[in-house]
Structure 1
Amino acid sequence: MHLQRTRLTWIYPTLLTLGLAQPVTAVEITDHLDLGGAIRGRLDYDPDRDISKFSFDTVFLTADYHSDTWIAAAKYRFYGDAYPFQYTDKVGDIAFAEYAWVGYRFTPEQQLQVGQSAVPFGLAPYFGSTFFETLGNVIGLEDTQDIGFKYLAKHADWDLQGAYYPIPAEQGRGTSRGGRTYGTSVASADTYVVDGSDNHESNILVGRLARHYQAGDWSGEVGASLLSSTLENQDTGRDGQRRAAALHATAQRGAWGFQAQAARQQMSPKNPGDNRLVSFGSFDGTFNVAAKGNLYVADVSYSVPGQYGWLSGIKLYANYSLFDKDPRAFQDSQRFIAGTSFSVGPLWVALEWLHGKNDPYIGGSSYTQSLGAGGTNQWENQLYSNIGYYF
């Protein structure tokens, strides 16, 4: 049921922060409180697997509180009763919080957030322009959330974010043993995962430092990130480690945008079995990830100026990501996405061609092993579209 499903529902990035051209139409309840959300549908087309579906995607609700000193934000998502979660009976059988935190502004440039918040690592808020996101997402580095404390500060051209998360994101509703979350994180493997492991991540320390620049017609930022955590294996009772580091850069000139990142993830688990693998999970599923490897991301985009009748906010983009695994016997994973996003009246649309090799969420490659030892080791293709009404 889970092994070969196409996990397209995690191509979700929140419209309030993603730099793609989505409308923001939250309802102002008071001068300080806004409520909003979205209803989304999705189109999946993969002729090689005889998949041609237009179905319900998700409903999510958001709340945002803002004053001169106190701030807060929350977002909760509901899935189920539609592809690829057709094995559930109703919407809400799979549900989880994306984020939920309360913050305090010391100054307009400094704040502290407490709760479940986005982990500040690498290109922010996402590793590129795509709606589907990059391989960084499925190895637990992009668009992830944990529970703890995050400090944010800006000074002149410098941007600093530091966080301590004692525990990972809260598990929501679903059928998976350890994948009932929005962001991908270290998880207790389900029984269908061959060579799966049971590690709990804790004491997660993250730091991100970036500097904004202006050079003639060009602007952007360069930055570095570090992550460290403890991996407690529930079978052996022994502690391993997770380490990650990244360098990133962005550049913008007029309508053109460029992003690049190189990251290293190195995990040393204390599994009873294969220490070359660590099980991760999200969106009601778990799978293996190579414990050691390098991630490379490159992204180019072009924002089309003007409005054409009901059509506006057109953005064209292409993104490539590579997960280069250390073990020679493991097959590297690659993902290339070419797409566009735009608004049509009250609707926001993303349309993307997905091209992946040893990618658990593109084509028919192995869901549980593609990011580990490898899957079909051939290029797979799909067409995906997400259509949303945001309120």
Structure 2
Amino acid sequence: MPHRGLLAVALAGTSLAAFAATGVVHAQTRQTTVDADDAKASQPKKTRKRVQAGKAVVAEPAQTPAAQPAKRPLISNDGKLTLGGAIRARFDTRFNSGPSFQSSHFSFDTLAFKLKYDSSTVFGAAQWRFYGGSFIYGKKNGYDKYPGEVQFPMWAYAGYKITGQDSVVAGINQAPFGLTPYYGTSFIESLGFAQGLEEVYNLGVKYSHADDRWTWDLGFYPTAAPDAIGISRDSARYSANMVKADSYVPNGSDNHERNMVVGRVEHTFFKNDVASFTGGLSAWWSQVHNLDNGRDGHKNLEAVHFSATWNNWGFKGIYVRQDIKAKNPGRDDMITIGGYDASYNLATRGNFFSGEVNYKLQQPVGGFDLMPYLNYSAFVKDKDAFKTSERYILGVAWTWKKDPRLVIYSEGILGRNDPYVGAGQFTGGLAQGGDDKWKKAVIVNVGFYF
């Protein structure tokens, strides 16, 4: 069965294995702490307080009653422009991959270039990704196999810091939904990424507020990030979005998501040197436009999430309710989404869950700081005939102490009806499901971030 290869990632920038209908591994490309979403880094900092005699005291400069605050310039002259990027390679061992029970590959993964500007008032950033030339984008899937054959922007935005706690950003930026920027530590990310819930970058405007206890965001996105360079009909993009289905997708649909209103609120209940706990709510509403009949349906997402720490332990969890009512000419129990130059079907209604526990080792091992983690995610569909999709990830993030720009992710992945793990699961894994058998993969991703 024809289909395109997506991109996999594994640790060190870890790719996750994704085995498409032809048995090719796909994987989403996750950021690391070195290569994190600069939109977050550029937001106003939360108010800092000092503790005195058991009481929180705001540190303020002395000021006479007649003193007036200095006027804040609209555009400051303290800006800094930086250039950066990343280059990554990957090693994959894939099990349950079709006629050959096991196969191993070492190949190029990603080349990325990043531009960032930051000042006390204005900020912005852009990142462009290059893929191709690897076994994932091979000739058997229709590619000419050269680096750059698939490429797209990840983000591209400009923003303004209104106050020390408030900012506005416009362009391709991360929609404020659920745990941001990621649902866990894994480089491959949870099933939520493949589902179009986790780490979604769309084109629009977002207003953000952050203080000691509360963070809230409200965004309006007229459209998704544009389709860029690749051989698919509409899927050369980073985030999983509603797209025009490729010919290899059974019962594929042609949709675009429009006029997305996304809101998120988060509260830090407590935080000290030993433990912390934060919880939040998110909502997403949008139009689902059909490109064949011109009719508009809608999408509703509601989510509750938490994150917590205790000493060196970390915990994260999220629940998402998904309801998509697309007025398509065909069936309404599935819709086509796509990313990384490939498309596949998604069940329109169901419940998503993700949870993770991680631990940061106190002492380095072999010159590396280590963080092991275990992540589980599942998509339970409303339709009884549709099989549940599940993914386990057991991994370790390695950061070289001598040069933290070198990061390695090593992950073992176990998936069932997972579009990115095992042959024959790709086009229908997140919809009606695949063969309902557990599939396995091991991926190591080595990245240098500059």
TM-score clears 0.5: yes
Aligned to 1:98: 154
1:11-70 superposed Cα distances (whole Å, 9 cap, x missing partner): 332544659xxxxxxxxxx96111110110001101433320111001001111000100
Contact 1:221 1:249 survives alignment (8 Å): yes
Contact 2:23 2:422 in 1 (8 A): no
**Aligned mate of 2:426, from 367, 372, 378:** 367
Matched residue, 2:249: 193
Q: How does 1:143-182 map to 2 (within 5 A)?
A: 143-182=199-238
Q: Which residue of 1 aligns with 2:128?
A: 76
Give me the CA root mean square deviation: 1.6
Larger radius of gyration: 2
- Paired with 1:291 and 1:267, the residues of 2 have a C-alpha distance of 5
- Checking the alignment, whether the CA contact within 8 Å between 2:95 and 2:439 is kept in structure 1 is no
Greater relative CO (CA pairs within 8 A, separation 6+): 2
Distance 2:263 2:176 in 1: 7
How many angstroms does 1:139 deviate by? 1.0
1:38 aligned to 79, 82, 86, which one? 86
Question: What's the counterpart of residue 75 of structure 2?
Answer: none
Question: In the TM superposition, what is the alpha-carbon distance from 1:7 to its structure 2 partner?
Answer: 4.7
Measure, in 2, the Cα distance between the counterparts of 1:14 and 1:258.
18
Structure 1: gaps of 5 or more residues: 20-29
> What is the aligned partner in structure 1 of residue 302 from structure 2?
245
CA shift digits 1:216-275 (9 cap, x unpaired): 632031000000000111112111001101000111011100111111010000111110
Check conservation: 1:208, 1:223, Cα contact below 8 A: yes
Deviation at 1:310, TM superposition (A): 2.5
Match of 2:359 among 284, 290, 302: 302
The 1:17–1:245 alpha-carbon spacing in structure 2 relative to 1, beyond 3 Å, is farther
Partner Cα distance (1:362, 1:276) in 2: 23
Question: Does the residue aligned with 1:137 lie in a helix, a strand or coil?
Answer: helix
Decide whether the 8 Å contact of 2:290 with 2:326 is kept in 1: yes
Secondary structure of residue in 2 paired with 1:363 = coil
Partner of residue 31, structure 2: 13
Query: Is 1:107 aligned to residue 169 of structure 2?
Result: no
Counterpart CA distance in 2 for 1:371 and 1:184 is 12
Which blocks of at least 5 consecutive residues in structure 2 are unaligned? Answer: 5-20, 38-77
Q: 1:48 to 1:374 in 2, by over 3 A?
A: closer
Deviation >6 Å, runs of 4+: none
Q: 8 Å contact 1:17–1:125 — kept in the other structure?
A: no
Q: Within 5 Å, which residues of 2 pair with 1:234-383?
A: 234-308=291-365, 310-312=367-369, 314-344=370-400, 345-346=402-403, 347-383=406-442
SS at 2:192 equivalent: helix
- State the distance in 2 between where 1:15 and 1:92 align: 25
Q: Is the 8 A contact 2:34 2:449 kept in 1?
A: no
SS of corresponding position for 1:368: coil
Contact 1:4/1:366 (8 A) holds in 2: no
SS of corresponding position for 2:193: helix
Q: Which residue does the alignment assign to 2:10?
A: none
CA contact (8 A) 1:6 1:360 kept: no
Q: Which residue pairs with 1:27 in the alignment?
A: none
Tell me how far 1:124 sits from its aligned partner: 1.1
SS at 1:178 equivalent: coil
User: What whole-Å deviation, never above 9, does each CA across 1:66-118 have from its counterpart, x for those lacking one?
Assistant: 00100001111000010211233311110000000000000121110000001
Q: Describe the shift of the 1:337–1:365 C-alpha distance in structure 2 as closer, same or farther (beyond 3 A).
A: farther
- Aligned partner of 1:25 in structure 2 is none
> Distance in 2 between the 1:131 and 1:16 partners?
13
1:374 counterpart letter in structure 2: G
Paired-residue identity, %: 35
The range that moved more, 2-11 or 232-241, is: 2-11
One-letter code aligned to 2:421:
I
Give, in whole Å, the separation in 2 of the partners of 1:83 and 1:348.
Answer: 22
Cα distance in 2 for residues equivalent to 1:158 and 1:17:
25
Q: Which residue of 1 aligns with 2:9?
A: none
Distance in 2 (alpha carbons) for counterparts of 1:365 and 1:352: 21
- Residue 120 of structure 1 and its aligned partner are, at CA, apart by 0.8
SS at match of 1:201: strand
